[in-house]
A = this chain, B = another copy of it.
Amino acid sequence: VIAPGATLGILGGGQLGRMIALAAASLGLKVHVFSPDEDSPAFDVCHAVTRAPFDDEETLGRFARACDVVTYEFENVPRRAAEIVAALAKLRPNADALAITQDRLAEKTFVSDLGLPTAAFRGVLDEASLAQAVGELGRPSVLKTRRFGYDGKGQAVLRDGSDLAAAFASLSAAPSILEAFVPFEREISIVAARGVDGSFAAWEPVENEHADHILSVSRVPARIDAATADEAASLARRIGDGLDYVGVFAVELFLLTGEAGQRLVVNEIAPRVHNSGHWTIEGAETSQFEQHVRAVCGWPLGSPASRGAVEMRNLIGEQANAWSAVLAEPGAHLHLYGKAEARAGRKMGHVTRVTPRI
């Protein structure tokens, strides 16, 4: 059993690592952050720091041996790095969960094999297989790199008349996946946690709005019916069980409304705390960050119950300049990540507003 006073290692030093570190400190843990970036936001709130590239295996080994349990805060930790850590320390979530979810083709195949609904998809390795996939899935469809895509990066929409060769070249001809277009009505996510003992707790589904492919606003309650909300929790549970997952994860979903009512399609799994779960800091009994710490330490999960109607709004780039207006607004909770430069498209912070549920 991991007890307070133990050291939690975090691979990655961004705002998610920072908020995990803050939650871990409140529970009496020491935090050790491993990140290649000098300006890592998580470095400012932890007990120990290792700054090194993920392929520095000796340093990675020293880091792992200094920790009682290690987690990661982003899905692009190299698989090899995860395996080195896993050989020397408890790595939660496990390295396979990371490997599956950092490859869009492996992830979609995994979800589909569980019998859960996804967009139709085909692997794409070259122009020929792209042409064949487009022939099968039709247009519009979306070509995505299998790895390293986020916030709409590494994607190309194929419409009538799109040049396939140019689209493939725009993704640097990297191994890719073609996904059939899903005529969704809304984007929903479900954030959930699975414990070492297989226990499971999901927050209620979140309704998300994006701007320029970046999450802009998350709201609970989502406008979905009760049966669909149950379905979201149920499919998250099957995904968590299937990955033998430990920790918090998110499933991004498309909501479709047809003659038979609402229906969900799995878009993506994030093997980590998730931007659409930031509302839980003030908006739920247990925040996703505390819950992640509880899970990876083998502690009991906390209640995911909501505290009201909640809106979380990201502060992207220069939007963070509005910090003083947010501080002056009664009931608005400001979070800033300590990033020096407010570059365009950069997540600088967020604001959460909790109001009584009607």
A contact set with B: CB distance below 8 Å: 1, 3-5, 18, 21-22, 25-31, 43-47, 285, 294, 299-300, 302-303, 307, 320, 323-324, 327-328, 330-331, 334-338, 340, 349
Chain B residues with Cβ below 8 Å from A324 are: 1, 299-300
10 pairs, A vs B, C-beta closer than 8 Å = A4-B338, A5-B338, A22-B25, A25-B338, A28-B335, A285-B331, A294-B327, A299-B327, A302-B327, A307-B307
Chain B residues with Cβ below 8 Å from A337 are: 28
Do A44 and B22 form a contact, CB below 8 Å, given A324-B299, A331-B303? no
Chain B residues with Cβ below 8 Å from A1 are: 324
Q: Are B44 and A30 in contact (CB under 8 A)?
A: yes
Given A27-B335, A27-B336, A28-B323: 4 more A-B contacts, CB < 8 Å: A28-B338, A30-B44, A30-B338, A302-B330
CB distance from A126 to the nearest CB of B (A): 46
- Which of A45, A285, A302, A303 gathers the greatest number of chain B CB atoms within 10 Å? A45
Chain B residues with Cβ below 8 Å from A4 are: 320, 323, 336, 338
CB distance from A47 to the nearest CB of B (A): 4
Beta-carbon nearest neighbor of A48 in chain B: B44
Chain B residues with Cβ below 8 Å from A320 are: 4
